[in-house]
Amino acid sequence: MEKGTYASYIEILRHELVPALGCTEPIAIAFASAKARDALGRFPEHLTAHLSGNIIKNVKSVIVPNSGGQRGIEAAATLGCVGGDASLSYEVLRPVTAEHIARTRELVGAGFCDAKYVEGKDNLYIRIEASAGDENASVTVEHEHTNITSIEKNGVEIFKKNSEASAEAIDRSALSVRGIWDFAAGLDVEDVKPMLSRQIELNTAISDEGLKGGYGAEVGKLLMTAEGEKVEGRAAARAAAGSDARMNGCSMPVVINSGSGNQGMTVALPVFEYARTWERGEDQLFRALAFSNLLAVHIKRHIGNLSAFCGAVSAACGAAAGIAYLDSCSYEQICMTITNTLCNVGGIVCDGAKSSCAAKIASAVNAGTLSYRMAKNGKTFCVGDGLVGRDIEETIENVGRMGRDGMKSTDIEILNVMVGN
């Protein structure tokens, strides 16, 4: 692989695989709120959160991390304002104390924060307005969860980033399945060891916590009890258990992928479970994890960070390909694995972040392991079968078009159902 392309793949991994505390959509609101408080220069008397539909969808039902069990938009914005530290980015709520939690409950109950739906914006759009007396400030986040595009103080814009190029300058266009294959084969594992070791450590820790039980519907614990004697059962249970904990208030951080902790766990934990079971060495594990993470990013970039397409599918597809890589499958077999997964469970819809995400993760991982076994036996879906294209890149593009464009109206109806319209 050409040195420049190799370096860009490393940079993509470095940008994507960062720790986050809890579900990233309430974290993004808390981040913007803390930043708006700082821009105002004093504690606000009132907050207004202007949000895109996908943000509303993903915050409405999920427990805000470090909140003492509080849910929803108002709790996320208020807690970020009361106790958040914006300099910590995705871990903005790490410094929150019991006093901050109690104060947040009081303020939410008193109507401190209003939430408003904004149409015609990017799927990931947050604008927090903070006011006190005659002063006001606002912070706008777009395209990525901590990507600030504008800060205003008393009607004057004091910071602006071009909204057309607002996401950080990480070029993902060089990604391809063949390129990821070549990258994994030629990888110096020392280049990725720190970030992938952190992904294994943090994501395994929250999975362990989820398996102890008491979180949400306990999908992971149930799967481990019922199917844990087989590696495919443990792989699904591991990923689901992490989501059980994360969607239901566990304050432990996870390493994300494509802006999502659920996707970060789904793309990594099954690969690690197979590597541990098959007694694969560190070198092969890190190559497989690099493959799975980059493939998930590649698929998701065609869809967008937030849509009606469940991100567990792209992440589980990455995991299945990583498992195939661990098993020394050929490039052609890995392409079959990707095709089989996407054309099986590509229709799972995202109806927001909540407990059922764990079950969707389990379904997607199970589909991925089935797809890998089919590919091992030379079985795959053929060109013209639904969304299957003439090659793997066309298949990924077809699925991306369906998730990005075809499911727009689905996304709107999901939101209408969720908010009672």
At 47-96, the pLDDT tens digits run: 999 999 989 988 988 899 899 999 999 999 999 999 999 999 999 999 99
β-pairing verdict for 148-153 and 125-132: unpaired
Note whether residue 356 is domain-resident. yes
Based on the fold, state whether residues 254 and 377 are members of the same structural domain.
Answer: yes
Last residue of a domain, one of 138, 165, 192: 165
Has residue 357 got a pLDDT over 50? yes
Angle, CA 105 vertex, CA 101 and CA 110 arms, to 5°: 145
- Please check whether residues 259 and 404 belong to one and the same domain: yes
The answer to the question of residue 375 being in a domain is yes
Q: Which of 165, 194, 224 is the last residue of a domain?
A: 165
pLDDT of amino acid 311? 94
pLDDT value of position 166? 44
| pLDDT, tens digit (0-9, with 9 covering 90-100), for 338-356 | 999 999 999 899 998 899 9
| Six token digits for residue 195 | 């970030």
- What is the number of domains present in the chain? 2
At residue 163, does pLDDT exceed 80?
no
Interacting residues of 17 by C-beta distance below 8 A, sequence separation 6+: 195, 196, 198, 199, 255, 256, 257, 264, 293
Report pLDDT for 61. 85
Residues 161 and 283 in one domain: no
Alpha-carbon distance values, 91 to 207, 357, 400 (Å):
19, 21, 30
Instruction: Please indicate, yes or no, whether residues 114 and 146 belong to a single structural domain of this protein.
Output: yes
d(CA 307, CA 6): 30
Most confident of 157-171, 189-203, 339-353: 189-203
| Integer Cα distance of 65 and 236 in angstroms | 24
pLDDT band for 120, please (50, 70, 90 cuts). Answer: confident
At 169 the pLDDT is 55
Q: Which of 42, 18, 31 is nearest to 64 (CA)?
A: 31
Tell me which residue range forms the domain holding 191. 177-419
* Statement to judge: residues 158 and 190 lie in one domain: no
| Statement to judge: residues 154 and 186 lie in one domain | no
User: Quick one: 56 and 131 in the same domain?
Assistant: yes
CATH number for the domain that contains residue 122: 3.30.1330
Q: From CA 337, how far away is CA 324, in angstroms rounded?
A: 8
Q: What SS3 class is residue 152? A: strand
Confidence of residue 125 (pLDDT cuts 50, 70, 90): very high
- In a domain, residue 293? The reply is yes
Q: Where a domain ends, among 120, 135, 165?
A: 165
**pTM for the full predicted model:** 0.91
Q: What is the pLDDT of residue 304?
A: 83
